[in-house]
């Protein structure tokens, strides 16, 4: 009986000789395959690996729709021209990703600003102009102290004069500083009396050396026909340039030998934008 090992060796030899001498005639070699002979149906599924694909030969039509997923795209490889117009939507933009240099000039309109989010720090100096302030929006509490220049003084002492030329009325003087061209309003009131009959007291108002309106020869404060103790008053005004001013009241009697008298008196000066 022939040993099994011998039979196995003989079969192996026959197989080897068959592959060497008969195989080439049974299995086609590369040189035996015509160009373009391998068509789709001849390829087993999954048989075409990366090494089998010639670099640079895959085109757009070779790609199935939706086949390029995120992990297949190299970081930084998507350039501007690769993004379709309108393709970047809100959910594609990370929170806080839009910084100042990404905004075109004039691109932020009123509708883009959340109501109530503009604070003082967002406003440039001088940005709030007249036309941007609603009518009636500036209340008393919005005015800084001294925003409307004013000065006031009063005195209860009784003083007299017998001068027939204008002299300063005692204690009726105030100082005021105007930051801009302004209309200055002067309000003066006093108890006044003049004696003897057929006489009267006259007054004027000055800002530095400028006589205030109305500029008339004589503004009669009171006459000798008026009972003592009656209060009298008069208002003056002028348009003045920015600067420092001393506001004062001057007075005189009409006739020599007469005298005028004033007691409780008040002088108020304030300025409004001209």
DSSP category for residue 31: G
Number of helical (H) and strand (E) elements in the chain, helices listed first? 2, 10
pTM over 0.85: no
Containing structural domain, residue 233: 151-273
Question: Would you say 265 and 172 are in contact if contact means Cβ atoms under 8 Å apart?
Answer: yes
Q: Does 43 reside within a domain? A: no
49-58 mean pLDDT: 80
Q: Which residues contact 167 (CB under 8 A, 6 or more apart)?
A: 161, 250, 251, 252
91-111 mean pLDDT: 85
Q: Does 57 reside within a domain? A: no
Question: pLDDT class for 18, splitting at 50, 70, 90?
Answer: low
Note the pLDDT of residue 108.
85
Reading the block at residue 206, the tokens are 């000055």
Note the pLDDT of residue 45.
81
Question: pLDDT class for 109, splitting at 50, 70, 90?
Answer: confident
d(CA 203, CA 225): 17
96-103 mean pLDDT: 85
Q: Does 256 reside within a domain? A: yes
Note the pLDDT of residue 255.
85
Q: Which has more confidence, 94 or 180?
A: 180
d(CA 157, CA 58): 109
DSSP category for residue 261: E
Question: pLDDT class for 252, splitting at 50, 70, 90?
Answer: very high
| CATH code, 237 | 2.60.120.760
237-249 mean pLDDT: 97
Helix, coil or strand: residue 107: coil
Least confident window among 16-20, 40-44, 203-207 = 16-20
What's the domain count of the chain?
1
Question: pLDDT class for 78, splitting at 50, 70, 90?
Answer: confident
Q: Does 128 reside within a domain? A: no
Q: Does 266 reside within a domain? A: yes
């Amino acid at each position: 009986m022939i040993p099994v090992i011998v039979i196995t060796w003989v079969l192996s030899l026959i197989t080897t000789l068959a592959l060497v001498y008969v195989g080439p005639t049974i299995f086609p070699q590369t040189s035996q395959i015509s160009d373009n002979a391998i068509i789709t149906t001849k390829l087993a599924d999954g048989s075409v690996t990366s090494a089998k694909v010639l670099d640079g030969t895959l085109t757009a039509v070779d790609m199935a729709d939706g086949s390029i997923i995120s992990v297949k795209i190299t970081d930084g490889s998507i350039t501007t021209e690769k993004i379709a117009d309108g393709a970047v939507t809100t959910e594609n933009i990370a929170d806080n990703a839009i910084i100042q240099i990404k905004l075109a000039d004039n691109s932020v309109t009123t509708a883009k600003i959340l109501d109530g989010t503009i604070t003082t720090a967002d406003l440039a100096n001088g940005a709030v102009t007249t036309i941007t302030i609603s009518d009636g929006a500036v209340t008393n509490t919005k005015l800084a102290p001294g925003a409307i220049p004013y000065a006031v003084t009063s005195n209860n002492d009784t003083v007299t004069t017998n001068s027939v030329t204008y002299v300063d009325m005692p204690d009726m003087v105030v100082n005021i500083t105007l930051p801009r061209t302004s209309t200055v309003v002067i309000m003066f009131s006093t108890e006044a009396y003049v004696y003897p009959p057929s006489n009267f007291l006259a007054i004027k108002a000055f800002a530095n050396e400028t006589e205030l309106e109305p500029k008339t020869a004589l503004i009669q404060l009171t006459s000798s026909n008026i009972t003592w103790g009656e209060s009298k008053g008069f208002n003056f005004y002028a348009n003045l340039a920015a600067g420092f001013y001393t506001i004062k009241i001057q007075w005189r009697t009409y006739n020599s030998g007469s005298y005028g008298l004033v007691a409780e008196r008040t002088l108020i000066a304030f300025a409004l934008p001209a």
